Structure 1
């Protein structure tokens, strides 16, 4: 995958056990509910049905993370979670993580990548739409622990 100009300085790699503390800290700082626990992160790091990704740039080892799920027999991958440090937002970290998630899905021969996003998360919605994601299906009412609704977005992968 050739990085786009906006993401050229951002590197994405598969997360390792040594990233666990950073993953949990970012999760706690980013989300008020629907958090991934330390045990869940630990399980997904070694899982064949998940890929945990880490973004870094400019000598910063950890700027953000994304988690992609793969279901056996399905050609649809799911971007389960994406988060970045506040100081990394708007600097191509989210784009690089999504592009890496798409590449991981293509490697698994998935035909599309699907995700849910809070209906009030305007910045994430703009990012997904800019990257070619389309809203599909009905709104998922009460999808999140706090009762917030979610839009479903999907992108066909070449």
Structure 2
């Protein structure tokens, strides 16, 4: 638990590429991004943050922004398995939501595997609501649960 307490969340950089690829090694192969995808995400129209504890990258979040849209997308959220349940994912989401709101996006949207009840519960507890189910969304044919959360003054404290 002390590891998560000593954590820093900062913008991701190309220098994090090896650690981002390594972070995903604990996940099922069909859910991992190849190195070239991480490189594209770090260079593209995204905002990426990483959680670092004791000099080790322990989590990451990537947001996608589409020109002309008011909806940002939480594209990926990853936390190393041994530190799950310590609040790292929630902190990464909060930083991402604040970044999207600063860019005048009024909603955050994401998809989760319907079978990933742990993630769905995390998102629900963070204010996301299911807005759709998308059959066959994942390469293995699994259904996705599409979730959304309003951003801005109604979603953040102090505004």
TM-score, normalising length from structure 2? Answer: 0.87
> Does structure 1 retain, via aligned residues, the 8 Å contact 2:23–2:57?
no
Please, which runs of 5 or more residues in structure 2 have no aligned partner? Answer: 153-159
Give the structure 2 partner of residue 53 of structure 1.
49
Q: CA RMSD in A?
A: 1.5
Give the structure 1 partner of residue 107 of structure 2.
112
TM-score, normalising length from structure 1? Answer: 0.88
Q: Give the distance between the partners of 1:141 and 1:126, measured in 2 at CA.
A: 20
Please, which runs of 5 or more residues in structure 1 have no aligned partner? Answer: 1-6
Q: Number of residue pairs matched?
A: 149
Alignment of 1:1-158 (within 5 A): 9-47=6-44, 49-57=45-53, 59-137=54-132, 139-158=133-152
Q: Give the distance between the partners of 1:109 and 1:81, measured in 2 at CA.
A: 20
Q: Give the distance between the partners of 1:119 and 1:93, measured in 2 at CA.
A: 22
Q: How far is 1:18 from its partner?
A: 1.5
4+ aligned runs moved over 6 Å, structure 1:
none
Instruction: Evaluate the alpha carbon distance shift between residue 86 and residue 60 of structure 1 in structure 2; reply closer, same or farther with a 3 A threshold.
Output: farther
